[in-house]
Amino acid sequence: MYKLALLLSSLLVLFSCEDTSKPEVVEVPKDYVTFSGKITNNTADSVAILSREFSRIISVNEDGSFKDTFSLEPGTYYFTTKENGMVVFLKNGYDLVLDIDAKAFNTSSKFTGEGAKENNYLVEKANFEADLFDQDLSHLTATDLDSAIQKLMEKALNFINLKTEIDTLLINDNKADLDMIAKSLKNYYSEITRLKDEMPKGSASPTFADYENYDGTKTSLADLKGKNVYIDIWATWCGPCKAEIPALKTLEHDYEGKNIAFVSLSIDDPQAHQGSWEVANEKWRAMVKEKELGGIQLFAPEGWESPFIRAFQINSIPRFILLDTEGNIINPSAPRPSDDKLRTLLDEII
C-alpha cells in the first residue's frame, strides 16, 4: 500500500511539473506597409507615393486596381496619379485600402483597413480647410489681415484638437503646419495688396504676343481688344486650378454671346514634366482635350518665367486677371470662377 501511494505521488509530481501549456506566440510587428486600392474612371498607368526623401511608383492595372508592399519612415506622403493628388499618412504595419473616383478625386476618396482612421481624417481635414481658407482677404488692412488669419488658425487648431483618436505623430505634424500656413496666407495677401497698389484699376495691362493656341493658331492679347478679358493662369498639375474647371465652364456657358473673352493660360513647364518642354506641351494638350475645355486655350512659352507671368508677379496658381475692353486692368487678382463675387463684377462691366 505504501509503495502504491509512493508511485501515485511520484506520478503526480511528474505530471504537475510538466508544462502542458502551448508556447506563447509573440507577434512580430510588420516592417512594411501594404497599400492597395482601386481607381474608377482611371486613365493613369501608375500612381506614386512621394516625399522629399522617398519615391515609390506603383503600377495600375487595366481595371484601375493597384497594390504594393514597401517599407518607409512613418509620416505624411503625397499620393498622386500625375494629374491629381492627395496627402496620405503611412507607417509600417498599415494594410491600407483606397477606393477613389478619378473624376471626383477630392470628394470621393474612402479608406479602409489598418490606417484608415488617420487617412479618412486627412480627407475630412482637407475638405474642412478648403472651405475655411476659401475666402478673399485682399481688401483688409495689414492689422485686420493679421487678425483674420489668427481667427482662421484658431478654427483650424480646434478642428485638429477634436481628433483625439488620431495618431499623435500626425496630429503634431498638422499642428506644426499651421504656422507655415499662416505665414503663407500673410505673404500671399500682402503680395496681392501690393500688386493692386502697383497695378491699380485703369492702368495698362502687361501684354503677351503670339502665344500658342490649342487650335493651332497664334494669339496675342492685342487680338482681344474690344472685349473684356478674363484670364485663368493654371497648370495641368495644379489641383486647385482643376477644381475651378466646372465653375469656369458654367461661367463660359452663361456669358456666351456677351462681350467677354475667357482665356486659359497654361504655365506648364519642364520642371513639372520630366525636364521636357515637349512633354509639358503634350500634357497641356491632352488635358484640354480630356476635360473638353472651352474658351481660348493658350500655352505660355516660358512657363513661370514668361514676361507676362512675371509682370503680374504670379508665384502661385490659380490666379485670375480681369481686363477691360481697352486692355486696362480691372483687377489683377480677380475672384475665381466659383466665387459669386465674380458674376457681380462681370455684370457691372458687360
163 and 227 housed in the same domain: no
Q: Characterize 156-192 residue by residue with b for buried, 16 or more Cβ atoms within 10 angstroms of its Cβ, and e for exposed.
A: beebbeebeebbeebbeebeeeeeebbeebbeebebb
Same domain flag for 164 and 56: no
Residue pair 209/220 in contact by the 8 Å Cβ criterion: yes
Same domain, yes or no, for 194 and 215?
no
The one-letter amino acid at 101 = D
Work out the burial of residue 262: count CB atoms within 10 Å of its CB; fewer than 13 is exposed, 13-18 middle, 19 or more buried: buried
In terms of Cα–Cα distance, which of 212, 232, 238 is closest to 309?
232
**224 within a domain of the structure (yes/no):** yes
Whether 229 is in a domain gets the answer yes
- Domain carrying residue 177: 135-198
User: What CATH number is attached to the domain comprising 247?
Assistant: 3.40.30.10
Tell me, yes or no, whether 192 and 234 share the same domain: no
Same domain, 231 and 297: yes
Cα–Cα nearest to 241, from 316, 126, 299, 318: 318
Single residue among 171, 198, 225 that ends a domain in this structure: 198
Average pLDDT over residues 32-53: 93
Q: pLDDT digit string (tens) for 188-245? A: 888 888 888 899 999 999 999 999 999 999 999 999 999 999 999 999 988 889 889 9
CA dist list (Å): 86 to 74, 197, 239, 313: 17, 36, 9, 27
Determine phi and psi for 336, rounding to 5 degrees: -75, 165
Residue 285: C-alpha distances to residues 179, 211, 243, 281, 288 (Å): 38, 14, 18, 6, 5
155 and 75 assigned to the same domain: no
Statement to judge: residues 220 and 308 lie in one domain:
yes
Please name the residue ranges forming H helices in the chain. 2-17, 105-108, 116-133, 142-161, 168-198, 239-243, 245-254, 277-290, 307-311, 340-349
| Residue 2 binned pLDDT confidence (cut-offs 50, 70, 90) | very low
Cα angle, residue 9 at apex, residues 4 and 10 outer, rounded to 5°: 100
pLDDT, one tens digit per residue, over 70-87 is 999 999 999 988 677 899
Torsion of Cα atoms, 121 then 67 then 80 then 119, to 10°: 10
Q: Both 191 and 218 in a single domain?
A: no
**Cα dihedral 150, 154, 159, 164 sign:** positive
Number of domains the chain contains: 3
Output the domain CATH number for residue 90.
2.60.40
- Specify whether 258 is located in the same domain as 337: yes
* Residue 189: inside a domain: yes
For 122-153, the DSSP string reads: HHHHHHHHHHHH-S--TTS-HHHHHHHHHHHH
Q: How confident is the model at residue 25 (pLDDT cuts 50, 70, 90)?
A: low
pLDDT at 10: 41
- Residue 22 in any domain: the answer is no
Domain boundary among 165, 198, 231: 198
In a domain, 28, yes or no: no
C-alpha distances in Å from residue 311, one per residue of 155, 195, 272, 302: 35, 10, 22, 13
pLDDT at 3: 39
CA 86 – CA 84 distance, rounded (Å): 7
- Residue 127 falls within a domain, yes or no? no
- Quick one: 230 and 174 in the same domain? no
Report the C-alpha gap between 244 and 314 in whole angstroms. Answer: 18
**Domain presence at residue 206:** no
pTM score:
0.67
Least confident residue range of 24-33, 60-69, 281-290: 24-33
* Mean per-residue pLDDT over the chain, rounded: 89
pLDDT of 303 = 96
What is the pLDDT at residue 275? 84
Q: Which three cell numbers stand for residue 282?
A: 503634350
Same domain, 345 and 220: yes
pLDDT tens readout for residues 136-155: 787 788 889 999 999 999 99
Instruction: Pick the last residue of a domain from 52, 81, 114.
Output: 114
Q: Are residues 330 and 295 in the same domain?
A: yes
Q: Is there a domain that residue 12 lies in?
A: no
